[in-house]
Amino acid sequence: MATDTPQPTDSAVRAALATVNDPEIHRPITDLGMVKSVEIAPDGSVAVGIYLTVQGCPMRDTIHSEVTAAVRAVPGVSGVRVELDVMSDAQRKELATTLRGGQAEREVPFAQPGSLTRVYCVASGKGGVGKSSVTVNLAAALAARGQKVGVVDADIYGHSVPRMLGTDGTPTQVENMIMPPSAHGVKVISIGMFTPGNAPVVWRGPMLHRALQQFLADVYWGDLDVLLLDLPPGTGDIAISVAQLVPNAEILVVTTPQQAAAEVAERAGSIAVQTHQKIVGVVENMSGLPCPHCDEMVDVFGSGGGQRVADGLTRTTGAEVPVLGTIPIDVRLREGGDEGKPVVLSDPDSPAGTALRTIADALGGRQRGLSGLSLGITPRNKF
């Protein structure tokens, strides 16, 4: 006796399509206006038309396969054909406005009073103290514990975050919005994604400010729990621009133990006095080398630098600045940066991995800082 096969319905197919997220925007394609058409034949075969945001979309194969799989799972579907089209200029503008919550004009979402995103500026007084390694591993650790995390590689001249995070994706532009690539659950944007090869960036202050503004306002970050900015060393243009663009951002100071580095790190953290920002804490990197033979800690770069910085900033700012953690020298931390595999993921129980995860737990458990909302700084450059 033959069994009647149920005929798939339009509503069932569209419900299945609602389970497919755009791989870059991370929202259902049905909410983004990407479903062009649904046609169901008498034999149960389904033809689905899908709009891609841009011509040559790098995720077209992923979208094609996920749409096919979702529709094929609908009862009664005997076959699936997916036809890809490209949005018109008007559709892309409508999408950009939708993603901005109806706001057509550029604004930095993290600076808005209603933002719940915690913004941390990872700063150092000088280069070579492992600031970017700390940033990348904190981001990966926070993402691993279920938080929505983004990283801005604000070190325009010395950008290194894409390699260290292991992302080689290219940002996709939808109208004047940029969809950031992601790796290990972390969204990331860097000037290195827009420059050919290893070409240097030779810019002055106004262009640095404009680039940072675009990274914050024109990139579609979604609803982040935490945004980390990997700042260049020192107290130059970028540090001042961050204070102007995201006045509620908090500063995380990275230093190494030796006196020379500590003095410079304290100087970098003291910018908070002028910008009215809060210093969330100090991280001491390269705090010692565990001897492979006797397990004793060898103070290659001295000791106590992190605490000296914290004590000095406490006196300068009048607020308690804690040492959030000390990270030992660990070859696996360096290897992870070279291979794009953060040590908090590749070897989380290593000495460096454990220390970094502890610091991430301290940051991830905090509420959004509200200091500096009325900064009163007048931008030096107008665009």
Residues 360 and 244 grouped into a single domain: yes
- For 210-252, the pLDDT digits (tens) are 888 888 988 989 889 999 999 988 767 788 888 888 888 999 9
**Residue of 4 and 383 predicted with greater confidence:** 4
Within a domain: 44: yes
- For 273-296, the pLDDT digits (tens) are 777 888 999 999 998 887 777 777
Within a domain: 74: yes
Residues 123 and 81 grouped into a single domain: no
Residues 73 and 119 grouped into a single domain: no
Range of the domain at 36: 10-87
Within a domain: 377: no
Q: Which residues are annotated as a binding site for ATP?
A: 125-132
Residues 38 and 152 grouped into a single domain: no
Within a domain: 199: yes
Residues 43 and 137 grouped into a single domain: no
Among 87, 119, 134, the domain boundary falls at 87
Residues 141 and 82 grouped into a single domain: no
Q: Is 26 left (phi over 0), alpha (psi -120 to 50) or beta?
A: left
Residues 46 and 125 grouped into a single domain: no
Within a domain: 241: yes
Residues 243 and 280 grouped into a single domain: yes
Q: Which residues are annotated as a binding site?
A: 125-132
> Looking at residue 325, which CATH number applies to its domain?
3.40.50.300
Residues 204 and 265 grouped into a single domain: yes
Residues 80 and 121 grouped into a single domain: no
Cα–Cα dist 22/175, whole Å: 16
Within a domain: 98: no
- On whether the CB atoms of residues 344 and 360 are closer than 8 A, the answer is yes
Question: What SS3 state is found at 162?
Answer: helix
> Looking at residue 73, which CATH number applies to its domain?
3.30.300.130
Within a domain: 296: yes
Q: What mean pLDDT is predicted for residues 79-96?
A: 86
Give the burial string for 70-87 (b: 16+ CB within 10 Å, else e): bbeebeebeebebebeeb
Per-residue pLDDT band at 366 (split at 50, 70, 90):
low
Average pLDDT for the chain: 84
Residues 6+ apart with CB under 8 A from 302: 257, 258, 259
Within a domain: 104: no
- For 167-225, the pLDDT digits (tens) are 887 888 877 788 899 999 999 998 888 877 776 766 666 788 888 888 898 898 988 99
Q: What mean pLDDT is predicted for residues 19-43?
A: 90
- For 103-144, the pLDDT digits (tens) are 555 688 898 888 899 999 998 888 889 899 999 999 999 999
Residues 26 and 136 grouped into a single domain: no
Residues 271 and 171 grouped into a single domain: yes
Q: What is the tally of structural domains in the chain?
A: 2
Residue 111 Cα distances to 101, 184, 190, 213, angstroms: 15, 26, 20, 12
First-residue to last-residue Cα distance in the chain: 76
